[in-house]
A = this chain, B = another copy of it.
Amino acid sequence: MANIAKKVSWSGRGDDRGERTPLLNGDEEVKNNRQVPDTLDYDNSENQLFLEEERRMSHMGFRCLEIRRWVICGLIGFLTGLIACMIDIAVEKLAGYKYFAVKQNIEKYTELGGLSISLILWAVLNSAFVMFGAIAVAFVEPIAAGSGIPQIKCFLNGVKIPRVVRLKTLVIKVFGVICSVAGGLAVGKEGPMIHSGAVMAAGVSQGRSTSLKKDFKIFEYFRRDTEKRDFVSAGAAAGVSAAFGAPVGGVLFSLEEGASFWNQLLTWRIFFASMVSTFTLNFFLSIYHGKPGELSSPGLINFGRFDSDCECSVMYVVQKQHTLIVLSHRMRLQHWLLRFSHAVLCLRYIHRPCLQVMEAMLVAAVTATVSFAMIYFSNDCQPLGQDKAEEYPLQLFCADGEYNSMATAFFNTPERSVRSLFHNPPGTYNPVTLGVFTLAYFFLAVWTYGLTVSAGVFIPSLLIGAAWGRLFGILLSFIIWADPGKYALIGAAAQLGGIVRMTLSLTVIMIEATGNVTYGFPIMLVLMTAKIVGDYFIEGLYDIHIKLQSVPFLHWDAPPTSHWLTAREVMSSPVTCFNRVEKVGRIVDVLSNTSTIHNGFPVVAHTRKICGLILRSQLIVLLKHKVFVERASSRLSQRKLQLKDFRDAYPRFPPIQSIHVSQDERECMMDLTEFMNPTPYTVPQETSLPRVFKLFRALGLRHLVVVDNENRVVGLVTRKDLARYHVGKDGLEELHLAQT
């Protein structure tokens, strides 16, 4: 869990090097002087420009927009599917070469003696792969480290981690994940797919790439937070769908993580993207495997077919009781371990990219060594079957016609190992082998999680869970009849659920991945238990991640005991307001003030009566185009400022420091009437926190103006103000969040 320790790794590359980037370096990354995450605005600013545009648009125009949205979703699904396909094929090929070379080598030296050469070959190959991946991540785009799921969760929630949906991030992510999986680390390629899908969506929907400096001049209408968020939801769903072959699960993941407002048409579009994505992956993989038209690999991981026999029955539920009891002990143990690793690793800050790369290489070498040792010292031989999942059987010291059972677990891609654990017939694994494997793999996974490589946590969790689930099944089968494969599935679900704490979406993903609806009930029971037991000890992995970032993440509901808090207590006050017609000098001063950075400013008439709300980004565009009252006459020949100018600047508005305002211009006046949102949502001061929270969450607001009974501005509630309140063990607690 080393990544947890690297609290600041999201906020900017500078921090990863352990040095503080100077505030005014003109680097566009350091937007608005801030290293902290920005928030997104899901409430349209319905200013005059916007309303004029909407009113000009005909019924037909809206229909065209709708068609364009569908086309974009189709594209997102298609491209996400392609990326998944590419990753899968690349990993298959590279891992295939690697295992082939090592296998040859082992076979050569088994009889000759000198297996240490094989070990070195394996370790070197692993390290080499991982090195490339780690270099790309550490030196080029640190944000591409990890699975990217917490970042996407934040994005959908309304917190924008810088550079998270850029093309460069995508390229590094894909390259990184190929390297780390091929390098044999205890990681999966599923989590990164979700991030990849989201980046793809953010790129395609905007019709341009700032990294490539290419603007296709299409889809300009969609250049605002609301629309972009919708597409990113679709992208994330497409990613899940491609990763697990679970289109419905993908939709539910997006909704569970992001959507504050359920909309039928939107959901249907998201589902379309998911379907296209899994279909594309399936189609191209089936061609690649030389069986076009068979469509047998809907996802990157395939659990294989589970048949519903009497095992999935009432007896199951009875047996479940045992599982659950063991499970909760297991969870307790696991969380103790998680905490332990967390504590240990918090002490270890590795900031220098070269050290990070070396750490990753070391882990890769250690993984190879541990695996080798496990295979070497295990003398658990099994007869060689016709099992297809067993693609690289290692004979080693086993008799002819037999293979080393430990090698199925370690000498294989993790996806294959999971499938073997689910489906291999009873008796394939020796309990001791499995126990040792579970422990070793657990520690490896924990160590690996914090590395600066692109990698997901789904597969290692599934693998660990499947291993101990199967172990449990084997032990149980000494008492009553039990199919250990089924227990492997339940164990995998429990482990994954305990780590990521997703509920509905994970159940559906598991159901879709197993292709069997009848497993739904036991899986749901297990996930529910895992969540309840887990929540009692510690939060889920992603939530820990998000919390350590101290980003203003909004949960589903206000804390239950917060009814005694009102908007008056929660709001930020006093508020910096602007007049309808404001002096340029004052605007520049307020925006440049680095001690109090605000993103939204109420616009007031005399006696501070609210008459609108204007955003920092809008003011910056106005300043850039010098939309001053005094220039209006001289600008008669010039064109009027249009919505297009705001869209062109979106989403990377220049920092205020890059805009030059002369001393003369400072004396000019700016008329904000046309550009401000004339109807911001307002609440009276007495409104209770849950009511404010609901308004905020349901509408995806960024600012909520608090007024007195004369409609005068008295405060402003922001995301940060709300995210501050949190339920601890003893009731309501206040958190300290980064300054936004």
Which among B271, B312, B507, B687 is the interface contact of A524 at CB below 8 angstroms?
B271
For chain A, the count of residues having a C-beta within 8 Å of the partner chain is 88
> Interface digits, A253-297 against B, CB 8 Å rule (1 contact, 0 not)?
001100111111101100110010011000100000000111110
**CB-defined contacts of A55 to chain B, threshold 8 Å:** 563-564
Contact present for A556 and B679 (CB under 8 Å): no
Question: Do residues B518 and A517 form an inter-chain contact, with CB atoms below 8 A?
Answer: no
Q: Is A626 an interface residue (CB 8 A)?
A: no
Tell me, in angstroms, the Cα distance from A699 to B504 when the chains sit together.
23
Closest to A679 in B: B687
Docked complex Cα distance between A246 and B520 (Å): 10
A687 CB contacts on chain B under 8 angstroms = 679
A387 to B133, CA, bound (A): 58
> Chain B: which residue is nearest A698 at the CB level?
B698
Q: A315 interface residue, CB < 8 Å from B? A: yes
**Which stretch in A22-30, A56-64, A489-497 binds the other chain?**
A56-64
- Whether A517 contacts B515 by the Cβ 8 Å rule is yes
A727 on interface, CB distance cutoff 8 Å: yes
Q: Which residues of B contact A599 (CB under 8 A)?
A: none
Query: Does A521 contact B279, Cβ atoms closer than 8 Å?
Result: yes
Is A314 positioned at the interface, with any CB of B under 8 Å from its CB?
yes
Please measure, in the bound complex, the distance between the C-alpha atom of A611 and the C-alpha atom of B708, giving whole angstroms.
Answer: 11
Q: Are A556 and B259 in contact (CB under 8 A)?
A: no
Known contacts A310-B293, A679-B686; decide if A298 and B556 are in contact (CB<8 Å).
no
Contact A261 B262 (CB under 8 A): yes
* Per-position binary interface string of chain A over residues 608-627, scored 1 when its CB falls under 8 Å from any chain B CB and 0 otherwise: 01110000000000000000
Rounded to whole Å, the gap between the CB of A265 and the closest CB of chain B is: 6
Q: Are A310 and B294 in contact (CB under 8 A)?
A: yes
A553 to chain B, nearest CB (A): 13
Give A80 Cβ to nearest chain B Cβ, in Å: 15
Known contacts A46-B688, A503-B268, A679-B691; A57 and B512 CB within 8 A of each other: no
Q: Are A727 and B59 in contact (CB under 8 A)?
A: yes
- Contact of A563 with B271 at beta-carbon distance under 8 Å, contacts A262-B259, A688-B679 already known: no
A638 at the B interface (CB under 8 A): no
Task: Give per-residue flags for A479-499: 1 if the beta carbon is below 8 A from chain B beta carbons, else 0.
Answer: 000000000000000000000
On whether the beta carbons of B314 and A248 are closer than 8 Å, the reply is: no
Q: Which residues of B contact A512 (CB under 8 A)?
A: 517
Minimum distance in angstroms from A683 CB to a CB of chain B: 7
Contact indicator per residue, chain A 511-529, by CB within 8 Å of chain B (1) or not (0): 1100111101100100010
**Is A632 on the interface with B (CB-CB < 8 A)?**
no
Q: Which residue of B lies closest to A317 (CB)?
A: B279
Q: Which of A54-93 contact B (CB under 8 A)?
A: 54-55, 57-59, 62
Closest to A279 in B: B521
Q: Which of B247, B260, B727 contacts A262 (CB 8 A)?
A: B260
* In the complex, chain B residues whose CB is within 8 Å of the CB of A248: 248, 508, 511, 520
Q: Is A663 an interface residue (CB 8 A)?
A: no
**Once the chains are docked, how many angstroms separate the CA of A262 from the CA of B268?**
15
List residues of chain B with CB within 8 A of the CB of A279: 521
Nearest CB in chain B: distance from A506 CB, A: 11
Residue with the greatest number of chain B CB neighbours at <10 A, chosen from A520, A556, A707: A520
CB distance from A61 to the nearest CB of B (A): 9
Write out the residue numbers on chain B whose beta carbons fall within 8 Å of the beta carbon of A679: 683-684, 686-688, 691
Task: Judge whether A313 and B294 touch: CB under 8 Å.
Answer: yes
Q: Residue among A247, A679, A687, A710 with the most chain B CB within 10 A?
A: A679
Closest chain B residue, CB of each to CB of A685 = B679
- Chain B residues whose C-beta falls within 8 Å of the C-beta of A707 in the assembled complex: 711
Within 8 A of B (CB), among A632-681: 678-679, 681
Q: Tell me how far the C-beta of A641 lies from the nearest C-beta in chain B, rounded to whole angstroms.
A: 20
Is A709 an interface residue when CB atoms closer than 8 A count as contact? Answer: yes
Pair B313/A295 contact, Cβ less than 8 Å: yes
- Name A271's contact: one of B259, B260, B507, B683 (CB within 8 Å): B507
B-side contacts of A605, CB under 8 Å: 709
Q: Which residue of B lies closest to A264 (CB)?
A: B556
Q: Would you list 27 pairs from A and B whose C-beta atoms are within 8 A, ordered by A residue?
A: A46-B688, A57-B560, A57-B561, A62-B560, A246-B517, A248-B520, A259-B262, A260-B261, A261-B262, A264-B503, A264-B504, A271-B503, A272-B524, A275-B520, A293-B310, A296-B308, A298-B518, A515-B517, A610-B709, A611-B709, A678-B684, A679-B683, A679-B684, A679-B691, A681-B683, A681-B695, A710-B711
Q: Nearest 9 pairs between A and B by C-beta? A: A62-B560, A54-B563, A698-B698, A293-B313, A679-B687, A293-B314, A262-B262, A711-B711, A55-B564
List chain A positions with a Cβ less than 8 A from chain B.
44, 46, 51, 54-55, 57-59, 62, 245-248, 251, 255-256, 259-265, 267-268, 271-272, 275, 278-279, 283, 292-296, 298, 308, 310, 312-315, 503-504, 507-508, 511-512, 515-518, 520-521, 524, 528, 556-557, 560-561, 563-564, 605, 609-611, 678-679, 681-684, 686-688, 691, 694-695, 698-699, 707, 709-711, 727, 730-731
Q: Known A-B contacts: A265-B556, A679-B687, A709-B711. Give 20 more (CB < 8 A).
A: A44-B691, A51-B688, A57-B561, A59-B561, A260-B698, A264-B503, A268-B528, A271-B504, A275-B521, A275-B524, A292-B314, A293-B314, A295-B308, A295-B312, A295-B314, A611-B709, A678-B684, A695-B699, A710-B710, A710-B711
